[in-house]
A and B are shown apart, each in its own frame.
Chain A
Amino acid sequence: MSNFSLEQLNGRLESYIKSSSEFRGETTYFVAPAKIVEILKILKEEFGFTYLVDLTAVDFLGIKTPRFEIVYYLHRFGEEYDENIRVRIKAQITEENAAIDSVTSIWIGADWLEREVFDMFGIVFKGHPDLRRILMPEDYDEYPLRKDFDVRNREPSKKSFQKALREGGY
């Protein structure tokens, strides 16, 4: 896909983009969470952003509302050096409705990334094929990267550990 330009992309996504910002040559788009699959599909199929570099979340508790931001980093491998482009897509979701559509239908590699976000933030990815905890024990009942979780609170971990000892599981 040659002759790529950000202007083109801006034009195509105009109706989806809520706002955008630029920092040291990197572009960030804020989009509506309900349209996330549609937008990422356009980026992948029409603009050649084939690589989902990372998918993560940020908790802005007490800093801004809505509380959570889901962040997608996309990379485009261009023919020319300056056509190698990275964009950041952010979707804001609220605490009450901490859920967003899964993008595993576009990148199968999003599977574990979404599981990690679910594990750490308790954000549900609708349509994910296997949404289980990936790092913490399965019966763990907290979301450690939420800002209202005390990172030194070992009690939930101990509870899972004692249970694993009692029941002979891992």
Chain B
Amino acid sequence: MGINAAPTAGGEGFLTTTVNSVANWGRKNSLWPMPFGTACCAIEMMGALASRFDLSRFGAEVARFSPRQADLMIVSGTITYKMASVCRKIYEQMPEPKWVIAMGSCTCGGGPFDSYAVVQGIDEFLPVDVYIGGCPPRPEALIDAVIKIQKKIDIEGAPIV
């Protein structure tokens, strides 16, 4: 964002920028995650959201259990094929622009469950932006992923819709 603070007679400044950069600056600092926790990783996600690690320090303020109010889906936990259609449905219900974090080995590639019911990576049916490995990853890793999403929004942005 280009900020030009030009002194004027009254001492007030003004800014020149683009609508896109202002919008992206707002988006990246007010991510509202939709926690989609289905297994053990969800416990670490709760840890990251709670006071000890406090994800809200990084601008991912309030976890929204309504997909209509969220723009960042954190899929944490084993996803079975039966759950996959639900997960996809919830993703579709989120308004654009939206991002997805795949948290944990299970969401990245099936984790320890090479079985008939478990999806071997949620990128089979969702566009994932950031993958976090680990079984489970620590809360710091989730915070790191959120910061990566913020960087991604900053660099690539999202079209104004």
Closest A residue, CB atoms, query B80? A157
Secondary structure class of chain A's binding surface, majority of residues: loop
Task: Give the complex CA separation of A150 and B81 in angstroms.
Answer: 17
Tell me which residues across on chain A come within 8 A of B85, comparing CB atoms: 161, 164-165, 169-170
Task: Give the complex CA separation of A2 and B3 in angstroms.
Answer: 88
Task: Give the complex CA separation of A136 and B81 in angstroms.
Answer: 9
| Pair B82/A144 contact, Cβ less than 8 Å | no
A134-170, CB < 8 A from B: 135-137, 142, 144, 149-154, 156-158, 160-161, 164-165, 168-170
Chain B count of residues within 8 A CB distance of the other chain: 14
B66-96, CB < 8 A from A: 80-82, 84-86, 88-89
Contact for B116 among A151, A164, A165, A169, CB less than 8 A? A151
| Pair A157/B86 contact, Cβ less than 8 Å | no
Closest B residue, CB atoms, query A161? B81
| Pair B81/A137 contact, Cβ less than 8 Å | yes
B94 shortest CB reach to chain A, Å:
17
| 24 A-B interface contacts by CB (under 8 A) | A137-B82, A142-B116, A144-B116, A144-B117, A149-B116, A150-B116, A151-B115, A151-B116, A152-B115, A152-B116, A154-B117, A157-B80, A157-B82, A157-B116, A157-B117, A160-B82, A161-B81, A161-B84, A164-B85, A165-B125, A168-B89, A169-B85, A170-B86, A170-B89
Residues on B lying within 8 angstroms of A by beta carbon are 80-82, 84-86, 88-89, 114-117, 120, 125
